[in-house]
Amino acid sequence: MNILAGRLRRMAALLGLFTLLLARPQPLWAQWNDPYPQRDSGRNILYAAFTERPKRLDPAQAYSSDEYTIISQIYEPPFEYQYLLRPYTLVPLTARAIPKPVYLDSKGRRLPADAPADRIAYSVYTIHIRHGILYQPSPCFARNASGQYLYQSLTAAQLRGIRTLSGFRHTGTRELVAADYVYEIKRLASPWVQSPLFSVLRHYIVGFKRFARTVGHLRATLPRVDGRPPYIDLAQVPMVGVKVLGRYTYSIEVRGKYPQFLYWMAMPFFAPMPPEAAHFFSQPGMARRDLTLDWYAVGTGPYMLTVNNPAREMVLQRNPNYHPDFYPRRGDSSDVKDGLLKDAGMRLPFINRVVFIRERETIPYWDKFMQGYYDESGVSAESFNQVVQYSPGGQAQLTPAMRARGIRLVTSTAPSIMYYGFNMLDPVVGGYSRRSRLLRRAISIAINTRQYILIFRNGRGIPAQSPLPPGIFGYQPGCAGRDPYVYDCVDGRIRRKPIAVARRLLAEAGYPDGRDQRTGKPLLLYYDTPETGPEAKANMDWMRKQFRKLNIQLVIRSTDYNRFQQKMRQGEEQIFSWGWNADYPDPEDFLMLLYGPNSEVKFNGENSANYNDPEFNRLFNEMRNMNNGPARAAIIRRMVSLVQRDAPWVWGYYPVSYLLRQAWVHNVKPNYMATNNLKYLRLDPALRARDRKAWNRPVVWPLWVIAALLVAVMLPAVLVYRQKERKSPL
C-alpha cells in the first residue's frame, strides 16, 4: 500500500467523523452562531452594545451619551425625568419632593415667589432626600468586625495581585446621606477634576469660584506624597452656597433667578459621591492598576458595574441593595394602548443583568440583531428598506417580514438639531451686510435638506425652520413656524423656494451665476467637516452638488476631529456642519447657541457661528429666567425671526429616530432626557430563546459542496499519482 492512499483513507475516516458531528441531532452548540456562552441562554439578561469605550465614568466628568448609558443606571441624582409623560417632567428620585426655590434680594431678604426677576439676587433650593437608601456593595465601605475600614489605608502588600475591583474580597455598604451630594458638588468645583460643567456652574452657585481657588491653592501648596498631589478632603473645606443642613437635607444657593437649575440637578453631575469612594480610589497604586472612578462606579442606582473590559464587554449587574422604586402609574394617553402601563406600580428593575458588547461597526450589530442576539436596534440607512415601508397615508410601518418576527417599531423626534453654520466672522459668508445676508439665504435655499434626509436618512428627519426642535417650548409646527426666507407655504404645506429664487438672491448679492461681479472670478467657498474616511465621501459629493446648483465651487476641508475643533475655536472655518443635543428640555439650551456672549471664538462658548446681534442678546437675557408662558413664547418668536432674517445657520434637520425592539422586550419608550431607562425595561427570555433557535438554523449543505469539490480535485490527483508511480522514476 502506498503512503498517499493510506493518507486518503485516514482523511476519509476523519471526514466521516466530521459528518457524525454535523449530523448529530443536538449539535455541539444549540445555535452555531451564538456569540454568547451557552450557560447564559434563557437568562434574564439584556444585550446591548457600545462602539467606543466610554472614556469617563466619573459623574463629575462624564458628559456624552455613551457615558450616560452606563453611569445613569448607577448614579442617582436627586431628580429624574418621568419615564412616560411628555412634555418632559421632573419627578423626585432620591429626593422626597421637587424643591420650590426661596428667592432672596441682594440683602438676603426673602421675596415672594412671584417677585420680578430683576429683584431676585439669590434663589435657595433646599433638598430633602429619602431615608434608608443604601449604596451598592463596594470594597470602599468594607469594614472589619471592629468597625475599621479594611481598604482605606491600603499597603502595597494588600494590593499585590489585584487588577480589578473584584480582587478585593470584602464589601460593605452605607446609607446615603445629604453630605454625599454636597461632596460631589465640591468635586465639580475642584479644578483637577476638570468637570465640563465648571464653566457653567461658576456663574451660578454662590461660593463656587472661591471654593475652586481655595482647594486649588491647597493642592498646590500642601506637600506632595510620593510625587503625587496630596489628597484633599473636600468635606473639610466649606463652600458658602452649598450647605449640609442635616443628615438628609442640603441646600444650594444660586445667583439670580435660574429655573433651569433644577434640570442640571437631574443630570449625573449632581449625583452623590461617597467620600469613602473618592478616597479609596485616590490611594497610591490604585490608578496604576486601572482602579479609578473612570473605570468603576459606586452609586445607589438599580445596577452596578461588575465587569469593565473596554476591549470586549461591560456588565451591569442588579444592585442587591437597591431602594424601593416603582414603575410609573401615570403616562400619556397613548401609553395604555401601547401596553406601557401594564407594569405600573411594579418594583424596579426588571432585568437582572445588562451586558454591553463592544461592537465597532453597525453592520455586525445589525446582523446580530436580526439573529436575535441583540434586543434593541436603531435602523441604519442600509437596512432601512428592509425594515420600514410607508402606508398609503405616509405612515412609517414595519415590513411584513419584520412584523412576522414580532419586531416592533418605535419612532420619536429627538430634541436635537443638525445644522450647517456660517462663520459670521468670515469676510465672505459672515457679517451683517445685505450682501452677505442674501448670499447666506441663497445658500440656505440651495441646500436641499429634505433631499438630504431622503437620501442619507431615508426620510427620518424634519427639515428645520429654526434652532428650536419639536418638543421644546417655543417650537412652532406647520406654516406658521416656517422660515419665510427659505420656505413658501403652499396649500398649508411648507415648501422650499425654487432654486431660481436662490439664483436671483445670489445675483442680488453680487455674484451673478456664481461669479463675483467685481472681479469676474468664480465664487469659491469652503466647507469644514470633521468627517473623514470613505463613508463621508457620498456626503461630500452631495454637498458639492448642492452648491453646484448655484454654480458655486465648494472646497471641502475635512480634517480629523481635533483639528476641526481647533479651527472652530480660532474662527478659521467658513461653512461647517454641526449638531446639538439638548442638555435639558428648555429653549434656553438651544437659543444660547446663537447668543453673542457665548461666541466660540471670542468667549470659548458654544455659539460656533459666532452670531452676535444686540437685539437677540437682549431678548435672550430677558427670556432665560422666565417661566414658560405666552410672554416667553412671544419673546422666543421674536428671537427666532431675528435669526431667520440673518440666516447664520442653514437650518438642517431635526433627526427622527426609529428604534426597533424585539418581541421579547417590553416597556420601551424613547426618553431623551431620562438616560436611566434600563430599569424600566422588561424581558421575556423564554420567548427569546425560542426565537433565536428558530432564526439561527445553520445551513450546512454548502460545506458538503466544498468537501465534494475538494474530493473532485483530489480524485484526478490520485489517478495521476497512480499513473506516475507505475512508470519508473525519471
Tell me how many helices (H) and strands (E) the chain has: 23, 25
With H, G, I as helix, E, B as strand and everything else as coil, classify residue 314.
strand
CA distance 550 to 498: 12
Q: Which is nearer to another protein, 114 or 535 (CB)?
A: 535
State phi, psi for 183 to the nearest 5 degrees: -60, -40
Residue type, 621: N
Least Å distance, CB 328 to another protein, is 30
Q: Which residues pair with 527 in a beta bridge?
A: 556, 575
**Can you state the angle between helices 434-446 and 535-548, rounded to 10 degrees?**
120
Q: Is 332 left (phi over 0), alpha (psi -120 to 50) or beta?
A: beta
By CB under 8 A, tell whether 40 contacts another protein: no
Which residues are within 8 A (CB) of 458 and not within 5 positions of it... i.e. 6 or more apart?
A: 379, 381, 384, 385, 388
Residue type, 715: L
By CB under 8 A, tell whether 34 contacts another protein: yes
Residues numbered 401 to 460 that lie near another protein (CB under 8 A) are 451, 454-455, 459
Which one of residues 213, 342, 521, 722 is an interface residue with another protein (CB under 8 A)?
Answer: 521
Please report the DSSP string for 153-194 in residue order. Answer: S--HHHHTT--SGGGS---B--B--HHHHHHHHHHHH-GGG-
Q: Which is nearer to another protein, 249 or 558 (CB)?
A: 558
**Among the residue ranges 259-267, 359-367, 609-617, 665-673, the one whose residues contact another protein (CB under 8 A):** 359-367
Three cell numbers, residue 712: 473532485
Is the previous residue joined to 87 through a cis bond, with omega within 30 degrees of 0? yes
Q: Which is nearer to another protein, 149 or 231 (CB)?
A: 231
Least Å distance, CB 142 to another protein, is 24
By CB under 8 A, tell whether 295 contacts another protein: yes
**Residue 77 contacts residue 270 (beta carbons within 8 Å):** yes
Q: Which is nearer to another protein, 256 or 310 (CB)?
A: 310
By CB under 8 A, tell whether 386 contacts another protein: yes
Q: Is 339 left (phi over 0), alpha (psi -120 to 50) or beta?
A: left
Least Å distance, CB 488 to another protein, is 16
- Segment (H or E) for 305: strand 303-309
Which one of residues 148, 541, 570, 710 is an interface residue with another protein (CB under 8 A)?
Answer: 541
Least Å distance, CB 350 to another protein, is 26
Residue type, 551: N
Residues numbered 41 to 60 that lie near another protein (CB under 8 A) are 52-53, 55-56
Which one of residues 512, 642, 670, 693 is an interface residue with another protein (CB under 8 A)?
Answer: 512
Per-position x/- string for 686-715, each x denoting binding to another protein as judged by CB under 8 A, each - no binding: ----------xxxxx-xx------------
Least Å distance, CB 610 to another protein, is 17
Least Å distance, CB 568 to another protein, is 11
Which one of residues 144, 236, 566, 621 is an interface residue with another protein (CB under 8 A)?
Answer: 566
Q: Which is nearer to another protein, 196 or 470 (CB)?
A: 196
Least Å distance, CB 1 to another protein, is 12
- Spatial CA neighbour of 339 closest among 577, 645, 634, 680: 680
Least Å distance, CB 530 to another protein, is 11
By CB under 8 A, tell whether 218 contacts another protein: no
Least Å distance, CB 520 to another protein, is 5
Residues numbered 8 to 27 that lie near another protein (CB under 8 A) are none
Instruction: Give residue for cell 475516516.
Output: 13
Residues numbered 148 to 207 that lie near another protein (CB under 8 A) are 163, 191-192, 194, 196-200
Burial of 434: CB neighbours in 10 Å, binned 0-12, 13-18, 19+: exposed
Residues numbered 225 to 284 that lie near another protein (CB under 8 A) are none
Give ∠ CA 459-463-467 in degrees, rounded to 5.
140
Which one of residues 130, 143, 279, 515 is an interface residue with another protein (CB under 8 A)?
Answer: 515
Three cell numbers, residue 375: 434586543
Least Å distance, CB 624 to another protein, is 17
- Spatial CA neighbour of 366 closest among 389, 354, 384, 351: 384
Q: Which is nearer to another protein, 149 or 721 (CB)?
A: 721
Per-position x/- string for 63-92, each x denoting binding to another protein as judged by CB under 8 A, each - no binding: xx----------------------------
CA distance 169 to 142: 9
- Spatial CA neighbour of 458 closest among 651, 669, 660, 656: 656
Q: Which is nearer to another protein, 500 or 705 (CB)?
A: 705
- Spatial CA neighbour of 11 closest among 724, 723, 715, 722: 715
Residues numbered 469 to 498 that lie near another protein (CB under 8 A) are none
